[in-house]
Structure formats: C-alpha cells, structure tokens
Structure 1
Amino acid sequence: MSACLWPGKNQMMQLYHDKEWCVPSHDDSYIFEMLTLEGAQSGLSWNIVLSKRENYKKAFHNFDIAYCSKLSDEKLESIREQYNVIKNLSKLKSVRSNALAVINIQLEFGNFSNFLWRYVDFIPVISNWESDGHIPAQTILSEQISKDLKKRNFKFVGPVTVYSFMQAIGMVDDHIRTCPHHSANR
C-alpha cells in the first residue's frame, strides 16, 4: 500500500497525517483548535503552523473557548509579542471573534460539533482518490459552510480553509485509496 505523499519525509507532518488528519472528531475544543490553526495557515504552509502548534496551545490555554472569547486587544498583542505564533494581528483577533461565534453556536445547537457535522448527516464523506493530486482544494459543501460561518461572524473561513478544516476534523476522509489510513483500509 502506498500512503499519501503530501506529508513527505517531515516527521511532524507524517505524525499529523497518520494520527489526526481525516480522523472524525466531535470534541469542541479540538474542533476549535483546528479552526484556529487552519485560519492561521491561510496563505502559509501547514508545516509552519504545525511547528507553532505548541505555542498556540500555551498562548490560548489549550484552545479554551471561554478563555479565548474574553481576550482583550492588549492580551492578543501580548500573545503576538511573547509567543512563537503567526504574527498577523487579524488572525490573532479571529481567535477571539471565532470563540465568541462558537459560544453562540453552542447555545443554539448544544455544541459546535453538532452544527458542523449536520452538514454531512453526522457521517464522514469518504473519498476514493487515486493520488494526492486529485484531492480538491474546495468543494460545493465547503463553499456553503464557509458562507454560513461568515454569516455567523467567523473570520478566516474561506472555502479553501473550510475544506482543510473539514479534513482536519474528519468530516472528510481524503486519504488516497491506497493509503493505510484511508477508512476502507483501517
């Protein structure tokens, strides 16, 4: 069996691919973490963001949604200066605004997971790609979710980011068909 090629020989990327990518998660804290990291990745490589993941966890108290929703502009500026995170202030401010949006969704739907997973009827979409090159950057569904999230005041949730986010939380299994981590091969 041949695995997905995108992680290359990078051990950190390979571990993420093997243990997390396309694995279904319904944990709001993890889902918020992936939303934050995918938003931070916008315009950058996933490798850069993963290399800063531990700093993000420290800066944002393990992606505690309530904590993040209360961050002041001063605290966000302090995080930008003190932690090895992506320094884009708009991306850092999106952590707060997205946490507030998540809290509103939790009040309406019980949890963030329910809101997201209803788009796929609570069952992951299993793809059967022949190669990494066949995996799309976005889909009609990621465009719809992006539009809906933006209406709810989420930031850094364009359709490409949302599709990567869907992969990150396992709403979509985009491992190539011959990858040992594809749902059909586990």
Structure 2
Amino acid sequence: MTEWWQSDPLLQAYHDHEWGRPQHADQQLFELLSLETLQAGLSWVTVLKKRAAFRAQFADFAIDVVAAMPDPALEAAMQNPAIIRNRRKLWAIRNNAQAVQRVQAAIGSFDAYIWGFTGGRQIVTRPRTSAEIPAQSDLSQRVAKDMKTRGFQFVGPTTIYSFLQGAGIIDDHLAGWQQPEA
C-alpha cells in the first residue's frame, strides 16, 4: 500500500523533514495554520505546490503584515492564478492573523498558546499503519473549540488535527520510521 507521503517527492520531503517535527516560531505556526486552512477540501500536495506563491502573496506569513492587509490587497490576491483563489479562505488568513495577534497580546505568543494544550509536550503515537492515524482527536476538538471562541476561522477538529501534526505537537510517524539523513 502506498502511503500518503509516497505519492509525490514534495510530499515525501514534507513528511520526512517537516511533518511531526516540533515548530515553535509564531510565524511558522501561523504559516502552517494558513496552509491547513487552504487545504480544506483539497489535497495537501496541491497546497505544497502553491506554498511559494502563498509566501510571496502573504509576505512570508508575517503576522502583523497579514493582519493589516487591506481588502484591496486581498481582492488582488483573488486574481493571482498561482494561489488557491477562494475568497473565504483568503479572508480567513487575514482574520486568523488578527486572532494570532490577540493570542499574542493575551498569552505572550502563539507558540505558548498552542503548545499549552499539551503542557509543552509532544504527543508521539507511532501507529503501525496509517489507517490507525485518526482524522481528529479529543485534543484537536478541544483546540478547535477554543480557537473558535478566540475568533479563528476554518479551524474544525480535522483541520486542527492536521495542524497539530504539522506543528509537531502530534507525531504520528509510523512505528519504525527513521528520519532520512539530511
């Protein structure tokens, strides 16, 4: 059986070098949240192939810059064929940057907020097969619910489970997996 990360070299690189590896920089966490928002209803490889264009469109996901983007800048983004042009998702990226700012003001950092749900500890599962990896969990449901109360958008428990995996809060690499040499 081909695993999700084996179908494309871009997915393989993401799986081997990013997915499940702890991320702590607010900007990286915000980028990942934004990409997960964009992924809703699409394949992850589609999002990864457009990541460079999204970084260019959204100032490398600089939180303060994205939070201050005026409507005309978002309207211009809707004309960019190199990105996913979904109005609700693009506006959600700006909205979520503003929500991250509120979290930073209240808690100190987005990192402290998101890792606070696990007391700063990584959850390592090591399932035997990818079929054992859930689409969501009690943790992702709790995080999604809290994020919604803080004004985040496109943060359902499935999207948040994927975000937690990408951020390395949850490491669902299969049992016996060894990170390849750099």
Return the TM-score normalized by structure 1. 0.93
* Cα displacement (A) at 1:161: 0.1
1:34–1:168 CA contact under 8 A, matched in 2: yes
Check the 8 A contact 1:68/1:96 in 2, yes or no.
yes
Q: What is the alpha-carbon distance in structure 2 between the residues aligned to residue 43 and residue 147 of structure 1?
A: 20
Deviation at 1:9, TM superposition (A): 3.7
Is the 8 Å Cα contact of residues 142 and 160 (structure 1) preserved in structure 2? yes
Q: Runs ≥4 in structure 1, deviation > 3 angstroms?
A: none
Identity %: 37
Query: How far has the Cα of 1:83 moved from its partner?
Result: 4.9
Matched residues in 2 for 1:109 and 1:83: separation? 37
Residue 160 (structure 1) shift: 0.1
CA RMSD of aligned residues (A): 1.3
List aligned pairs for 1:1-186, cutoff 5 A: 5-181=3-179
Provide structure 2 residue ranges, at least 5 long, that are not aligned to the other structure.
none
Query: Offset of 1:180 from its aligned partner?
Result: 1.1
- After TM superposition, give the deviation of residue 14 of structure 1 in Å: 0.5
- In the TM superposition, residue 62 of structure 1 has moved relative to its aligned partner by 0.4
Superposed CA deviations along residues 29-62 of structure 1, whole A, max 9, x for unmatched, are: 0000000000000011001000100000000010
What is the TM-score of this pair, normalised by structure 2? 0.95
Q: Deviations over 1:54-98 (max 9, x none)?
A: 000000010010010011121101012125111110000001100
- Measure the CA separation in 2 of the matches of 1:71 and 1:149: 21
Secondary structure (helix, strand or coil) at the match of 2:5 reads: coil
In the alignment, residue 53 of structure 2 is paired with which amino acid?
N
SS of 2:6's equivalent in the other structure is: coil
Preserved CA contact (<8 Å) 1:175 1:181: no
Helix, strand or coil for the counterpart of 1:104? helix
In 1, Cα distance between the equivalents of 2:137 and 2:104? 25
**Counterpart Cα distance in 1 of 2:158 and 2:28:** 20
Paired amino acid for 2:154? F
Provide the rounded CA distance (Å) in 2 between the counterparts of 1:172 and 1:62.
24
Listed as ranges, the gaps of 5+ residues in structure 1 are: none
Question: What is the DSSP-based 3-state SS (H/G/I as helix, E as strand, rest coil) of the residue aligned with 2:100?
Answer: helix
Contact 1:59 1:83 in 2 (8 A): no
For residues 81 and 59 of structure 2, the distance between their equivalents in structure 1, rounded to whole angstroms, comes to 12
